[in-house]
Structure 1
């Protein structure tokens, strides 16, 4: 049984970590647009800060796997993230702002893989407890997204900077109050090289399917809030629609164990990616309808929530305990880093200040469809109890 203090500490860390994402993911493009950047420049900036995820997680993960001290890395990462983000208050031109945000992303990406490993070590990889802890990240995302939309509309896009600083201060404080979990059995596993695991055919299929999925998220992460703003939705409604997606995501995390008992891992991954393709088609062609937009956001439960849980399960099953941080880092760096950067850059080219919105989301739909087809070739193995169940 996870001690209540440890449960609360981990939950608060997720709350603040995903809280900053609840600000940055929907509203960074709004902030950059208000500072006069073009859609191409916004796409370039988002691509560069996303590309920071390619290298950084692996560097931090090697240190974490060797030392076993994930919490120290989380604390240092949180402090440096706060410092770098604060620089955007004074950075108005293209290169200084890109540098500040790239460094922010570089240190931000050091946090989540270690936080995931700490959590899974603490809960003995129980899907039920993981879902309860992880949902506090979703709650943080919702609260920040809704409040930020209102505050930015009421005061100006510059409120973005100050909201972010408050959240990151909260993250720094929460990491200082956390404790490094004890691992009952020190690593005494086989010495199979991580390269063998990485270049395994099944892992490569999983990796490239995820890569295509994250590419498809490029237009959503970069331009979704601006897209709705151009369709005359208010700041509050933009935050509300984003919150709908995260509420649906919470439902998946709460009931994740039921999905894992009822479906194979391959089925969950395929279903998540293929339905994401439908989601982007709906966003691109029917976003002027409140009902269609709400429906597409409810699908976030599958395209993010269910896929995230399934991917964590896959990685936990595929890599040994002494390879977990590196496995997470390779996944985040490659899939989220490369996939996210390419998706953001292509979205910036296709968007054309809103004229190419439909084409951009069609690109997302086709990309996710390709990812779903790749996932169909995964080997269908039963879910091993120690993975996340």
Structure 2
């Protein structure tokens, strides 16, 4: 079990290390290439759109074989290969296509890794939490390290760091063995359409969509905002790390919160406090303590909301509809919402001059999401 724990933790570490580079510094890299905020927003929207259909395509492939490991290895290898194209391209479309291909192959890894991990540890929540923790450690480590390296050298260092991490991630997948007790593919049965068109799921979906759209300025331009406000170079990784640490904390106590509050209450609270987060970021980002508070709210914006969403999906869909329900929700909310959010942020940002307006708009969008969440019912969802 220890050997399996070490191998899985290692892969989670490197997978989320890549995110620790992408989330804070992709926009910094694109800005260094001379693209304006509208172009950056467009590029990020196209890249994010691969999340709409990517996870479903890879899940179908895994279901046919009944094995996750070949998909994980192939996805990691193709993601690394696609990212290497960044050394060869310099134009708008060249970089966009390279990153879009990377993202498409990248979506193959985590869903299958989660399934394989749960099978390997016999679905022990305690062991899973310890393994998943190393992903957060990887994210923080790379965010802080990349801050220093990019500040010391140049934004182009982003490509070299990304290539090295992706190659190491692929190597880590070669250590694994397919768990023997994962059964061959099980064909889903039962129509999911009736569950998708219920009013409560529609409002739930729209609430999540609004929340994800509101993340647009944060995911697209937070790194540039920190630079614009004259914080030191390492501050980008530091502020991002505060949010991840808060996220870890909420995952630890989430079980207790679900005992004390309803899913609907937690969904509404998470969205409303996220509106406050964007307001603080846009209007008081130059005050370090206010930005720290805004980052701590990430615990609710992502951690608590994600946990509550997964609980809702588990209650709303039958057992043989869970995978499809999650794929539709995640692909739709994170793919469509993320693409719209990035595109809108690019229009509103105005190369930094519209930063406050972009975040105030995000706060307003989040409030609309909270209104949709008011109509979500978690009673008798089946």
**TM-score normalised per structure 1:** 0.91
Does the CA contact (< 8 Å) of 2:65 and 2:185 recur in 1?
Answer: no
Give 1:299's match in structure 2, choosing from 289, 293, 297.
297
Distance 1:198 1:25 in 2: 31
Residue correspondence of structure 1 range 1-389 to structure 2 within 5 A? 3-122=1-120, 127-181=125-179, 191-381=189-379
* Structure 1 residue 370 displacement after superposition: 1.3
Cα distance, 1:10 vs structure 2: 2.8
Q: 1:215 to 1:190 in 2, by over 3 A?
A: closer
Q: What's the offset of the Cα at 1:187?
A: 8.3
For residues 380 and 291 of structure 1, the distance between their equivalents in structure 2, rounded to whole angstroms, comes to 37
* Structure 1: gaps spanning 5 or more residues: 385-389
**CA shift in 2, pair 1:189/1:104, >3 Å:** closer
Whether the aligned pair in 2 keeps the contact of 1:78 and 1:107 (CA below 8 Å) is yes
Q: 1:266 & 1:124 partners in 2: Cα distance? A: 30
The answer on whether the counterparts of 2:64 and 2:185 sit within 8 Å (CA) in structure 1 is: no
Contact residue 117 and residue 324 of structure 1 kept, 8 A: no
Partner residue, 1:387: none
Asked whether the equivalents of residues 63 and 185 of structure 2 are also in contact (C-alpha less than 8 Å), the reply is no
Q: CA 1:268/1:293 → structure 2, altered by over 3 Å: closer, same or farther?
A: same
Could you list the per-position Cα deviations for residues 338-374 of structure 1 after superposition, in whole angstroms to 9, with x for gaps in the alignment?
0000000000001000110011001111111111221
- Matched length: 382
Between the aligned partners of 1:266 and 1:123, the Cα distance in structure 2 is: 31
Counterparts in 2 of 1:207 and 1:11: CA distance versus 1, 3 Å: farther
Contact 2:13 2:135 (8 Å CA) reproduced: yes
- Offset, 1:182: 5.0
For residues 182 and 44 of structure 1, the distance between their equivalents in structure 2, rounded to whole angstroms, comes to: 44
Deviations 1:39-67 (A, max 9, x none): 11111100000011111111112222343
**Aligned equivalents of 2:288 and 2:215: distance in 1?**
21
**Conservation of the 8 A alpha-carbon contact between 1:268 and 1:307:** yes
Cα displacement (A) at 1:147: 0.5
Q: Is the 8 A contact 1:198 1:204 kept in 2?
A: yes
Partners of 1:345 and 1:62 lie apart in 2 by 29
Q: 3-state DSSP class of the match of 1:179? A: coil
The verdict on how the C-alpha distance between 1:380 and 1:198 changes in structure 2, with shifts beyond 3 A counting, is closer
Question: Residue deviations 1:164-210, cap 9 Å, x none?
Answer: 11111121122222233455788889832133333333322222211
Instruction: Assess, with a 3 A threshold, how the Cα gap between structure 1 residues 95 and 374 changes in structure 2: closer, same or farther.
Output: same
Classify the secondary structure of the residue corresponding to 1:233.
coil
Describe the shift of the 1:133–1:273 C-alpha distance in structure 2 as closer, same or farther (beyond 3 A). Answer: farther
Kept after mapping to 2: 8 A contact 1:64/1:325: no
Distance 1:140 1:307 in 2: 22
- Give 5+ residue unaligned stretches, structure 2: none
SS in 2 for 1:255: helix
RMSD over aligned CA atoms reads: 2.3
Q: Which whole-Å CA distance do the structure 1 matches of 2:204 and 2:124 have between them?
A: 22
CA distance 1:12–1:316, change in 2 (3 Å): farther
Residues 45 and 128 (structure 1), Cα distance of their counterparts in 2 relative to 1, 3 Å cut: same
Paired with 1:183 and 1:255, the residues of 2 have a C-alpha distance of: 31
Distance 2:266 2:361 in 1: 23
